[in-house]
Chain A
């Protein structure tokens, strides 16, 4: 015989689900249709609004669009919000006055055309937002780690000659500082300054690439210290601080952080001038070219991840940002003259720095292609970028 006992559980106090039928399509009323289910406050760059545009466009307001009460906090000097004069570059429409707002004016945006100026036409061709940049960077760090782990398992570092160890500890090591400085003090620093959310988000993403790559190199350096007995994990600091070969590059890198209140010049000088003439010169035309011959198949995979960041992503947004300005319907000449001036200023500095790097080409046992050939390749690549931007290669490039 069994006895059945039931213990009454006191009813817990929890919210009760209720059927509300509040899903799309449950009723018909004004705005219930499919056409009302899209963000309708901006015009997409192409026919259809992209996911990237939906999560990025117009989050940063512009008083020439909506923003009826204007910016509500200002700096002591009167600047507020995201002033368009934080670069000397100009996009069409920027000289038109902001709508006057005051007692009885209403919101002031009634008769405005949109976009009110050319800056709002910019879209990051990489379409970066949080989903994409975590996927991308997580993939990169996973792959880089796997490559390094595999090399450790395969005892790949045993093949390295003392000379190559010295090259990697000093020179590959020194490069991490450049990525770090540019990441933090150029790209992250400028993400407060751009005229639209699209610009500032692209700069923030660019900075992530740089900071991540700097850390990739630092942690790779740490692994090498652990795996190779004679590897000096602190040599990169000494090389960066004292080696004559690195002082030219360091000087330009620091100069890029010191650009006088112009985010446009900072980004242009870094991604259009510095990167092809010095970044790719070192990464692609030196390290990538001679590592394998020196028995190193790992360093190129770490370096290559950073190279891909620049060549395939950071350069793309940079071209999309600056290219249209050289054919701007109102300020093309102004912008071209400005950029040509920037080229005249930065190209000689970068070429001088490139030449101070030249002794590195002689350090490995197995030599890379000649420095002059490497520099020519870098110059050709640079000239191609300028041509794509609608700019002329400056005289200084002939140095």
Chain B
């Protein structure tokens, strides 16, 4: 490599900065933020002369490890419980990654600082890397793991599945609406700086504990890029902070981005780490412990709080509330239980919990067994077809929940449900912050201020509503979650691959039709709705019906 110092080289490439003389670039994307005062230096100080060989070297290590895994028969010691959940994770993650690449030009348009554009361009390339390297990892799993179903139709699954739609917030949220809200606050300040710690550091550690060292190989390589992206976000944030008019928007966007990331990432990654593992050593960290370390201490206390002195209004209340959701209200456990309740609507096999798992959960989350133990015992009892229906139709003290219109995770912490009538439709939300996000934040005015660039929450956000009244066999066939014999389901509520133990469309045909709780909610009278919500708030934990009134 050149002997020129990196600092000198980086300084030289600043001479490329462009001040238009004849034509201003077309401004496709807008923001309600203003950048009148500050300029910031490019924190990455990366030049492509060293960047490309560095990334190539990282690739050599990744692909060398991939070869090694196959030659070393890694799949003889991979835990199926773990790899099945990767069918969900790896179908989701390549889109958010490539969306991050697509979001970078939105920042070129609105951040008037050519020096930062260099770092954003490098991030764009990194993100294309992440998307394709993850698609490739999934391809390797498909080729070498015992059960390719779910990997092989991965993107069709992802695009049709409600879990995929929840995950898509983590992609469309980066590329749509106000450019700073999307590509800076939601993507780099919160998603990358806070939550990639659990995504790309904590989760790979769990993969390794389950015999899979390829996921850590790929995702730690990815995370080594993420640390650079964090600098991009920080520089833009400091620029935004120097203009006082932005502070109200920053407060809004941090609240939205924090809460949405918590709802989405903690739901998914929490479930993978707690319910996808076979490693039940008592001294291994639980997701709650990881969260406390990576997100509460490393992000909130070390990164976010110091920004307060620059005028950033930190959503302390939401951070504490998120912790409360995880630690006191069992958010992750409720989500995992819901995933498994609705196993038949998905495309991976979901293993039940054993006595060893119960013991670990009770140790890590005292009181867990009393809340969730009986339901998991029922899950195991009903795992293989034996004249009964899937667990969602059986009397196991579980009330199928309403969808949250904003984050699209159901309203699982029952006491927190709130509702609003928007455009003539009664919507349910899992929490007041999700109601605020829809009804107040994603609107053309915010606290009396015009916000014409703010995005909109659109789409068919309640999955069940699409299939209201359908027979379950038709639902699963429509989504395409069927194996190559044309009838055996891709998803199963156990890991037994004996065809006699596997559920088929024939088993589903006899089940009652799918009923969308949100459709039913809208069919109620106002009085019925009020009573329904009152009852709902008394339900749980673990989805239990409300106790009979005294």
The interface of chain A, by Cβ under 8 A from chain B, is 13, 15, 17-27, 29-33, 35-42, 51, 54-56, 58-61, 65-76, 78, 80-81, 101-110, 129-131, 133-135, 137-138, 140-142, 145, 148-149, 176-177, 180-181, 183-185, 188-193, 197, 200-201, 204-205, 207-208, 211-212, 214-216, 218-219, 221-223, 226, 233-234, 236-237, 241, 250-251, 254-255, 257-261
Contact = CB atoms under 8 A, between A and B. Distances in A.
Interface string B5-23: 0001100110110101111
Contact of B176 (A80, A110, A183): A80
26 contacts: A22-B76, A22-B145, A23-B76, A24-B143, A29-B147, A30-B149, A30-B484, A32-B146, A37-B148, A39-B153, A59-B155, A65-B159, A67-B159, A73-B173, A76-B444, A80-B458, A81-B176, A131-B63, A138-B53, A192-B175, A207-B121, A211-B121, A222-B4, A223-B4, A254-B25, A257-B25
Interface string B466-503: 11111000110011000111001010000001110010
Nearest to B467: A106
Interface residues of B, number: 127
B443 to A, nearest CB: 10
B390 interface: no
B460 interface: yes
Interface centre among A33, A68, A193, A197 (most CB of B within 10 A): A68
B177 A73 contact: yes
A81 B498 CA distance: 42
B156 interface: yes
Given A20-B76, A59-B94, A189 B139 contact: no
B108 A216 contact: no
Nearest to B97: A59
Contact of B4 (A31, A65, A219): A219
Interface in B418-468: 444, 452-461, 463, 465-468
A365 B391 CA distance: 86
Contacts of A226: 4
The 8 A-B residue pairs with the shortest CB-CB distance in the complex, in nearest-first order: A66-B159, A23-B75, A30-B483, A15-B209, A41-B156, A73-B172, A72-B459, A55-B135
B98 A59 contact: yes
Interface centre among A22, A71, A192, A260 (most CB of B within 10 A): A22
Interface of B: 1-2, 4, 8-9, 12-13, 15-16, 18, 20-26, 28-30, 47-49, 52-53, 55-56, 59, 63, 73, 75-80, 83, 94-95, 98, 101-106, 108-109, 117, 121, 124-125, 128-129, 131-133, 135-136, 139, 142-149, 152-156, 159-160, 162, 165, 168-169, 172-173, 175-177, 208-211, 278-279, 281, 283-284, 408, 444, 452-461, 463, 465-470, 474-475, 478-479, 483-485, 488, 490, 497-499, 502, 516, 519
Contacts of B479: 68, 107
Contacts of B108: 184-185, 188-189
B444 A134 contact: no
A246 to B, nearest CB: 11
Nearest to B109: A189
Given A24-B75, A29-B502, A41-B153, A131 B466 contact: no
A261 B28 contact: yes
A129 B148 CA distance: 23
A30 B466 contact: no
Contact of A177 (B16, B29, B455, B457): B16
Given A39-B152, A54-B139, A204-B124, A73 B28 contact: no
